[in-house]
């Protein structure tokens, strides 16, 4: 069930209630039960897969823990990681690989009727797979001991606030929290509610609203002119930020109400002044996972190649990131672009720092603004590949932005107005947090009246400007 | 090797890698405290330390280095 | 813990109060028919203009009719009372002002899945039969209608409840829509705004396909399908020539003639030449509405160009 469904709004309070009514020692069991119930409500049969991955991880990591011989340990590690990855690779990439093989066979005039099976992707598999692999690697690296209680491990992998869209958490952070027998924390409940409120605002008022325009244009590229394509491409990064960012806040807030601290997933990414900084602020849980488990080992093994070792590690890491996002060529290009941006920044870093020191630029407002704009342009340019259905369309978007002046720019007054209002509110709030933290507080104001007024304002903004249900105002069907 | 021998050598490496001649190392110093010390430059630092002290780190060692103090201890253990 | 719950309840109090007032007033008659005469009058004036989709569809579901009229404000003039002299079957006019063909299709699909329909009149025009006007406002309102939680927590219920209360308390009339000018000026203004429609005209392949599906559905279910092109003043019709859309206009007519019966009133004749027959270039008066209804049922066509479609509606 999605966080924005009415079902969830019934499920969660009930779960929280049962959770607090359960004696402290067994609360983790209530959560495990609730998480599987939650997951069964998406697609029952995939819960078996989830349980299977959990069982495999449990058994193999306990063996790793007991094994002393280094080489044997490593072999079991590889076995574990491969077993956990297999379902993900299969479900996500089978169709692509299958089609690829079919195309190859056709090219050589061989026609073997390979089965064409249509798969539904198990919900959350990209996320829980990574959480399980992270746990395995942590056990191997002796960061944590293999968990003896399979229920606790199962809870970590299936924890319902996180399973659908993250943040991708670490066992080191979550399992001790599941074990700690805390009482009800009212401060955290309030904090959690505030996060959820703001998350709903971002998702329903900004993300889904922008999505109306972006979908209308990107789902029919040939019908729209250059200006519309440009506008939709500019909207898109904001849409995914509000979407994933909002969803993450709801997830974090939900966990907080239950008394758990989950890592922040976004930190005002559009205020970054370089791509390197951008990736420290965007989808933080994914990037830190990739950094710790892919980039660091890779850059370590390539360290004798100095800066070129780093470049290689970056390219591979972001290639993997691209593939993780989707089984398509466009995502690979997207990943490679990120790798290229960061590599260029790494290669020119020394010169840049010297330049900045020489002219004392790092505190100048216009220089910071320049960095912000440049970073935004680079990210937006790469996101065209993230949104377009295929390579051909992505290149179409690029060319037509500059050449197409036929047709009229697509205008949708209400959508654009409401989006602008939502974006402005987010921008002002984040501007305050970035440059004037702890001042002009609303949700955190000392006065109760101001806090409550702010909550109600946001509630009414959501109800007035929000997009509910599958509201696609535009309906193309050819 | 003693800490007193390691520290000055390490300080010199830090000064070169982070382009900052006024750097002073303390045991509690972490990546947050030095400008330019991030995951991109960390590996360069590690590589320099290895060649300078003629030692070899293991991947597992990286996680044990939370601050400069840990770093010095780890270097010491390689002798 | 009790303190915390107290705080939560206190915080929710305004919201709870609002919901209670909404339950009492029920501006769209979601929960019950609404017997209070004064309240019903207010609802007709306010709620119907605030969200006509929600209002009309709830009303329709309460007293469904087997004959429905869909379209925009032009065909809203064909009031159900006009049909009483000609047909035993009750007629419901669920056309919505400013509605697009997409709205009409959405409403058609919604209604036909819930009720038995025997006859449909689709009001169409070259302005709405355009690929530029695809807005679907019916869908969100239908989704509100499907859930009482949504009904209580949506902006239309809020605003209608608020306006109704304000009207009752201050004893003042609330008129949501008022043309800002006097008739002459408004007339000229409307002619100028026509460029908004014709200037951005594009052929609606999607609408043709959707209407074709509906046409086939009607044939299968034995529903009589008819299109009405309401009369507009010749000064407005002139704009079609002005914008070089004669070919497109003819294609539009050909399209709908292939899909169902067509009653075309929109061409130069005595009716459309007379300014007194129109409130503004787009909307004819009630007397014209009476003529249209009479002609449809008596088949005595003084003004309509009637093109029957035998493949859909069998022999007459």
The residues spanned by each domain of chain B are 3-77
The C-alpha atoms of residue C38 and residue C49 are separated, in whole angstroms, by 17
Find the range with the poorest average confidence among A139-153, A401-415, C137-151, C190-204. Answer: A401-415
E strand or H helix that includes residue B15: helix B3-17
Would residue A171 count as lying in a domain?
A: yes
Task: Return the pLDDT at A261.
Answer: 95
DSSP string covering C49-103? HH-HHHHHHHHHHHS--SEEEESSTTGGGS-GGGGTTT-SS-EEE---TT--HHH
Q: For residue C186, give the nearest of C281, C85, C270, C86 by alpha carbon.
A: C281
Least CB–CB distance from A468: residue in C102, C136, C150:
C150
Which of A182, A197, A218 terminates a domain? The answer is A182
The pair of three-digit structure tokens given for residue A423, joined into one six-digit string: 């974006």
Neighbour count for residue A240 (Cβ, 10 Å): 19
The C-alpha atoms of residue C85 and residue A371 are separated, in whole angstroms, by 74
Would residue A478 count as lying in a domain?
A: no
Q: For residue A239, give the nearest of A222, A215, A220, A217 by alpha carbon.
A: A215
The chains found to touch B (3+ Cβ pairs under 8 angstroms) are A
The pair of three-digit structure tokens given for residue A2, joined into one six-digit string: 């999605």
State the DSSP code for C278. Answer: B
Domain that holds residue A59: 6-182
Would residue A1 count as lying in a domain?
A: no
E strand or H helix that includes residue C305: strand C305-307
The pair of three-digit structure tokens given for residue A405, joined into one six-digit string: 């002046």
- Inter-chain touch C137–A473, beta carbons under 8 Å: yes
Task: Please provide the CATH number assigned to the domain covering B3-77.
Answer: 1.10.1200.10
Q: For residue A25, give the nearest of A188, A179, A185 by alpha carbon.
A: A179
Task: Give the residue carrying structure tokens 């209070």.
Answer: C36
Domain count, chain A: 2
A463 touching C (Cβ < 8 Å):
yes
pLDDT exceeds 90 at position C174: no
Would residue A477 count as lying in a domain?
A: no
pLDDT grade, residue C186 (50/70/90)?
A: confident
Identify all chain C residues contacting A473, using CB atoms and an 8 Å cutoff.
134-137
Would residue A475 count as lying in a domain?
A: no
Of residues C158 and C35, more confidence is placed in: C158
Would residue A472 count as lying in a domain?
A: no
SS3 A6: helix
Task: Return the pLDDT at C311.
Answer: 67
SS3 A79: helix
Using one digit for the tens of pLDDT, what is the confidence trace for A268-327?
A: 999 999 999 999 999 999 999 999 999 999 999 998 888 898 999 999 999 999 989 888
Task: Return the pLDDT at A118.
Answer: 63
Domain that holds residue C208: 2-313
CB C86 within 8 A of CB C294: yes
Identify all chain A residues contacting B46, using CB atoms and an 8 Å cutoff.
300, 303
Q: Are residues A222 and A96 in the same domain?
A: no
A344 touching C (Cβ < 8 Å):
no
Residue A247 burial by Cβ neighbours in a 10 Å radius (0-12, 13-18, 19+): buried
- pTM score above 0.95: no
Quick one: average pLDDT of C93-104?
91
* CA-to-CA dists, residue C133 to A221, A225, C52, C174, C187, angstroms: 17, 17, 19, 30, 23
CATH at residue C293: 3.40.50.1110
* Chain B: residue whose CA lies nearest to A314: B40
Would residue A355 count as lying in a domain?
A: yes
Task: Return the pLDDT at C41.
Answer: 87
Q: Are residues A250 and A281 in the same domain?
A: yes
Q: Are residues A108 and A195 in the same domain?
A: no
The phi-psi region of residue C71 (left if phi > 0; otherwise alpha if psi is between -120 and 50; otherwise beta) is left
How many degrees, rounded to 5, is the angle at CA A181 between CA A245 and CA A265?
10
CB B78 within 8 A of CB B49: no
Using one digit for the tens of pLDDT, what is the confidence trace for C242-276?
A: 888 999 999 999 999 999 999 999 999 999 998 88
Task: Return the pLDDT at A438.
Answer: 84
Would residue A23 count as lying in a domain?
A: yes
Identify all chain C residues contacting A476, using CB atoms and an 8 Å cutoff.
134, 206
Domain count, chain C: 1
A-facing residues of C in 283-312 (CB < 8 A) are none
Quick one: average pLDDT of C11-15?
93
Best residue in A6, A196, A468 to probe C by mutation, most C CBs within 10 Å?
A468
A21 touching C (Cβ < 8 Å):
no
Q: Are residues A202 and A176 in the same domain?
A: no
SS3 C123: strand
How does strand C305-307 pair with strand C261-264? antiparallel
The pair of three-digit structure tokens given for residue C97, joined into one six-digit string: 């002002």
Which of A148, A182, A216 terminates a domain? The answer is A182
Using one digit for the tens of pLDDT, what is the confidence trace for C115-134?
A: 999 999 999 999 999 887 87
Task: Return the pLDDT at A112.
Answer: 63
Q: Are residues A177 and A192 in the same domain?
A: no
B-facing residues of A in 199-228 (CB < 8 A) are none
Which of A182, A212, A243 terminates a domain? The answer is A182
Task: Return the pLDDT at A408.
Answer: 65
What is the SS3 assignment for C219-269? Answer: HHHCCEEEEEECCCCHHHHHHHHHCCCHHHHHHHHHHHHCCCEEEECCCCC
CB A259 within 8 A of CB A15: no
Best residue in A142, A300, A313 to probe B by mutation, most B CBs within 10 Å?
A300
Q: Give the pLDDT of chain A (478 residues) as one tens digit per residue.
A: 778 788 888 899 999 999 999 998 899 999 999 999 999 887 788 899 999 999 999 999 999 988 888 889 999 999 999 999 999 888 888 777 777 777 777 777 766 665 666 667 788 889 999 999 999 999 998 889 999 999 999 999 999 999 988 899 999 999 999 998 888 899 999 999 999 999 999 999 999 999 988 988 888 787 778 888 999 999 999 999 999 999 999 999 999 999 999 999 999 999 999 999 999 999 999 999 999 999 999 999 998 888 898 999 999 999 999 989 888 889 999 999 999 999 999 888 888 888 888 888 878 889 999 999 999 999 999 999 989 888 888 998 898 888 876 666 777 778 889 999 999 999 999 999 998 888 888 888 888 999 999 999 999 999 888 888 654 333 322 2
CA dihedral C147, C150, C154, C157 (to 10 degrees): 50
């Amino acid at each position: 069930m999605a966080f924005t469904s009415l079902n969830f709004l019934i499920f969660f309070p009930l779960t929280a209630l049962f959770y607090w009514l359960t004696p402290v020692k067994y609360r983790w069991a209530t959560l495990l039960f609730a998480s599987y119930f939650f997951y069964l409500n998406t697609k029952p049969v995939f819960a078996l897969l989830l349980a299977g991955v959990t069982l495999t991880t449990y058994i193999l990591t306990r063996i790793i823990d007991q094994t002393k011989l280094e080489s044997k340990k490593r072999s079991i590690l590889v076995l574990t990681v491969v077993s956990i990855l297999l379902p993900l690779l299969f479900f996500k990439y089978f169709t692509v690989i299958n089609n690829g093989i079919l195309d190859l066979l056709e090219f050589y005039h061989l026609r073997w009727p390979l089965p064409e099976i249509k798969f539904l992707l198990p919900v959350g598999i990209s996320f829980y797979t990574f959480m399980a692999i992270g746990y395995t690697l942590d056990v191997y690296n002796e960061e944590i001991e293999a968990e003896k209680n399979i229920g606790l491990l199962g809870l970590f992998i299936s924890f319902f606030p996180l399973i659908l869209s993250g943040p991708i958490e670490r066992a080191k952070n979550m399992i001790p929290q599941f074990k700690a027998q805390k009482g009800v924390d009212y401060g955290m409940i309030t904090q959690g509610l505030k996060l959820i409120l703001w998350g709903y605002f971002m998702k329903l008022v900004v993300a889904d609203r922008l999505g109306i325009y972006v979908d209308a244009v990107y789902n029919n590229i040939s019908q729209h002119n250059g200006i519309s394509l440009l506008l939709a491409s500019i909207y898109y990064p904001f849409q995914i930020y509000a979407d994933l960012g909002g969803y993450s806040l709801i997830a974090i807030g939900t966990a907080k109400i239950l008394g758990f601290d989950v890592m922040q997933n976004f930190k005002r990414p559009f205020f970054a002044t370089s791509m390197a900084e951008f990736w420290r602020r965007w989808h933080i849980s994914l990037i830190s996972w990739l950094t710790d488990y892919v980039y660091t080992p890779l850059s370590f093994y390539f360290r004798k190649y100095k800066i070129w070792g780093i470049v290689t590690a970056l390219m591979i890491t972001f290639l993997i990131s691209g593939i993780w996002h989707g089984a398509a060529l466009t995502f690979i290009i997207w990943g490679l672009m990120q790798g290229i941006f960061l590599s260029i920044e790494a290669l020119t870093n020394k010169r840049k720092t010297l330049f900045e020191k020489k002219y004392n630029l790092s505190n100048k407002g216009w220089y910071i603004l320049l960095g912000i704009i440049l970073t935004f342009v680079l990210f937006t340019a790469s996101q065209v590949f993230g949104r377009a259905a295929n390579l051909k369309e992505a290149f179409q978007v690029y060319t037509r932005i500059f050449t197409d002046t036929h047709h009229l720019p697509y205008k949708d007054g209400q959508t654009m107005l409401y989006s602008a209002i939502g974006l402005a509110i987010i921008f002002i709030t984040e501007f305050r947090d970035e440059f004037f933290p702890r001042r002009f507080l609303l949700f955190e104001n000392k006065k109760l009246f101001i806090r409550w007024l702010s909550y109600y304002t946001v509630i009414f903004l959501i109800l007035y400007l929000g997009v509910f249900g599958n509201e696609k105002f535009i309906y193309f069907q050819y | 090797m003693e800490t007193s021998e390691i520290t000055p050598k390490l300080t010199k490496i830090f000064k070169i890698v982070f382009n900052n001649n006024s750097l002073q190392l303390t045991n509690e110093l972490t990546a947050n405290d030095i400008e330019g010390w991030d995951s991109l430059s960390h590996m360069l630092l590690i590589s320099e330390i290895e060649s300078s002290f003629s030692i070899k780190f293991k991947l597992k060692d990286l996680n044990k280095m939370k601050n400069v103090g840990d770093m010095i201890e780890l270097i010491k253990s390689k002798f | 813990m009790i303190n915390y719950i107290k705080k939560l309840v206190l915080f929710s109090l305004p919201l709870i109060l609002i919901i209670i007032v909404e339950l009492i007033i029920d501006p769209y008659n979601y929960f019950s028919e609404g017997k209070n005469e004064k309240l019903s009058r207010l609802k007709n004036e306010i709620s119907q203009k605030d969200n006509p989709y929600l209002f009309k569809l709830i009303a329709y579901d309460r007293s469904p009719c087997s004959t429905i009229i869909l379209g925009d404000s032009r065909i809203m003039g064909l009031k159900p009372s006009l049909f009483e002299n000609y047909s035993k079957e009750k007629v419901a006019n669920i056309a919505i002002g400013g509605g697009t063909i997409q709205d009409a299709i959405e409403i058609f699909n919604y209604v036909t899945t819930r009720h038995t329909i025997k006859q449909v009149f689709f009001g169409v025009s070259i302005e709405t039969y355009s690929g530029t006007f695809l807005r679907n406002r019916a869908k969100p309102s239908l989704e509100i209608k499907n859930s009482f939680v949504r009904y209580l927590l949506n902006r239309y219920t809020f605003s209608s409840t608020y306006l109704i209360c304000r009207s009752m308390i201050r004893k003042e009339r609330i008129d949501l829509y008022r043309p800002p000018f006097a008739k002459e000026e408004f007339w000229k203004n409307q002619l100028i705004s026509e460029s908004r429609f014709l200037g951005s005209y594009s052929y609606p392949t999607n609408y043709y396909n959707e209407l074709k599906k509906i046409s086939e559905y009607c044939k299968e279910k034995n529903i009589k399908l008819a299109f009405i092109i309401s009369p507009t003043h010749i000064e407005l019709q002139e704009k079609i020539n002005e914008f070089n859309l004669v070919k497109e206009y003819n294609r539009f007519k050909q399209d709908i003639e292939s899909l169902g019966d067509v009653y075309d009133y929109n061409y130069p004749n005595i009716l459309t030449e007379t300014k007194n027959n129109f409130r503004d270039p787009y909307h004819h008066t009630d007397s014209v509405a009476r003529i249209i209804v009479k002609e449809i049922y008596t088949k005595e066509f003084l003004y309509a160009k009637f093109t029957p479609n035998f493949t859909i509606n069998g022999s007459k």
